Structure 1
Amino acid sequence: MEITDATEEDVETVKDVARRSMEASYALSPDAIEGILNDQFNPDRLADLIENEESVLLVAKDEGHVGGFVEAEINGEKGTLHWLHVATEFRGMGMGSGLFEAARDRLHEAGVESVRARELSDNAEGQGFFEYFGFEKAEQERIEIASEDLIVDIFAENESETEDEDETDSEPQETVETDDGTVHIDRSEELAGESGPFFVAYADEEYDEQYGFYCGNCESIVEAVDSMDRIECGTCGNLNKPDEWDGGYL
């Protein structure tokens, strides 16, 4: 996977990725999604973002194909992440996490001290994503896009946790104790869930023998998929549908 600045050649693909992501994850009508796409992801606006030094527009590519993107804004010492989308066929590769971290790093490199992230409440699969990175839901606001009245959740960066991460230079992996012993979680291998992401869990330190999955919503271990090839957390009900994850993890 490669994460780079978007170019004008990526404009149409960015809109297509947003369309596929929103159709799969947003509890909005087709007309509402189309309105948002035409307002927020039209070629002129995206081209302006690419040229604007106060904007960040990054794309993630896998074998040359754009699978996701992130848009952020620099406003003095404050930065705001507005949109992050990954097409369904590219989910489960850590692309969402990679884009988020790259955008956050870019904002901090530009002198931003406080980062916020905005998420439409209608994104049923995105809940819990920002909390994993140490963000906390700070407030809600109503906005209007293309005549649609929408509710936005605003997440604020937890500065104390950010400082701790910088001091420890922590790796994305961690461990969890189970009845079978220590299970190793690979945070770089992320799969989409309805209430939060799932991460691949391994039974060994070398990350060769898969044990199951780690639910990012309630921090429980899921040892297996069900008869319909779904990953479902028995503790909180977080669900990953078969078309949202890569069977190669098994």
Structure 2
Amino acid sequence: MEIREPEPDESERIRDVVESSMTTSFRLSPGQIDGITDEEFADDAVSERLEDDETVLYVVETGAEIEDRTIAGVVEGRLADEWGEIDWLFVDPEHRGKGIGTELYESMTERLRDRGADHVRVTVLEENTEGHGFVERFGLEHDGDREVEVAGESLVKYVYTEPDIDVSLPTESRADDATVTADTADEDLPGTETTDGDLTATDDGTTVYIDRDEAESGTAAPFFHTYEDEDRKQQYGYYCANCGSLEVSMDNMERLACPDCGNDHAERSKESYDDSRL
């Protein structure tokens, strides 16, 4: 296995890896995958990355003989002030289980630190059903969400950082500007009050109980599970901590959305993850 910077004329080989990896591991439609692949890894996009001093692009090549060599993985990182960020990491499904993902991650982390990064963060699309578990295996924790526009699609990336880092994440993320987080005091949650020790809200005269311990991340603020009863047996719906709305909807892809403020969240897959796959 050899990890190296790619040549400009290898963009098609890179796109093949990206497309096959996303088809296997991302909960996206074929059209969405084509759009992301074509925009992010087109010939000119790869060339620009290779010429950009702040961006690092690596591929991993397998095969002992020249004629048998193939690109089996891709990773992209960049520098942003004191931060290094790993934006994309793909391993071809046919070459998983060989530690390629780990090698790419560790090589990129080392390179970013060598180039001056004090801290490294990783962004993972919510629709990446396997990437979250992979990143968490390295001790990183979910530390915010970022809404990004990719190939005309509005998508959400989870931002993972090392725990207990007392520095601010760079801006770019809607989560950075959110005034409400899962740790915000009850009195800061709009439209709520405390009733006999329980956090409640009112919907058309009905008292709804809000469970602060059951939170779903949102691009602007969390969503909390709500219940019709104090014992939390009968779920009512969801409460948007950004604006206080109880009109939160969920579609057939388990995407939560607040119609009042635009806060949304696409729940990632709960299927089990095998750390050895990448």
What's the TM-score, normalizing by structure 2?
A: 0.58
Task: Tell me which structure has the larger Cα radius of gyration.
Answer: 2
Deviation at 1:52, TM superposition (A): 1.4
Counterpart position of 2:13: 13
Deviation at 1:151, TM superposition (A): 1.2
Deviation at 1:127, TM superposition (A): 2.2
Instruction: Give the whole-Å Cα distance in 1 for the aligned partners of 2:116 and 2:275.
Output: 32
Range 87-96 or range 126-135, more displaced: 126-135
Aligned equivalent of 2:274, options 173, 197, 209: 197
Secondary structure at 1:128 match in 2? helix
Instruction: Give the whole-Å Cα distance in 2 for the aligned partners of 1:45 and 1:149.
Output: 20
Counterpart position of 2:91: 86
Gaps spanning 5+ residues in structure 1: where?
A: 161-192, 200-243, 246-250
Secondary structure at 2:27 match in 1? coil
Gaps spanning 5+ residues in structure 2: where?
A: 64-68, 166-269
Instruction: Give the whole-Å Cα distance in 2 for the aligned partners of 1:56 and 1:85.
Output: 14
Instruction: Give the whole-Å Cα distance in 2 for the aligned partners of 1:11 and 1:129.
Output: 25
**What code does the residue aligned with 2:129 have?**
A
Instruction: Give the whole-Å Cα distance in 2 for the aligned partners of 1:75 and 1:152.
Output: 17
- Contact 1:3 / 1:58 at 8 angstroms: preserved in 2? yes
Residues 38-88 of structure 1, C-alpha deviations (whole Å, 9 max, x = no match): 111111011111121211000011112100010001123111111000010
Aligned equivalent of 2:142, options 132, 137, 140: 137
- Contact 1:127 / 1:194 at 8 angstroms: preserved in 2? no
Matched, 1:150 2:127: no
Counterpart position of 1:34: 34
Counterpart position of 2:184: none
Matches within 5 A, 1:44-59: 44-59=44-59
Deviation at 1:194, TM superposition (A): 4.9
- Contact 2:134 / 2:275 at 8 angstroms: preserved in 1? no
Instruction: Give the whole-Å Cα distance in 1 for the aligned partners of 2:154 and 2:57.
Output: 25
- Contact 2:137 / 2:275 at 8 angstroms: preserved in 1? no
CA RMSD in angstroms, aligned pairs only = 1.9
What's the TM-score, normalizing by structure 1?
A: 0.64
Instruction: Give the whole-Å Cα distance in 1 for the aligned partners of 2:143 and 2:53.
Output: 27
Relative distance call for 1:194 and 1:49 in structure 2 (3 A) is farther
Percent identity over paired residues:
35
Instruction: Give the whole-Å Cα distance in 2 for the aligned partners of 1:150 and 1:59.
Output: 25
Counterpart position of 2:133: 128
- Contact 1:57 / 1:70 at 8 angstroms: preserved in 2? yes
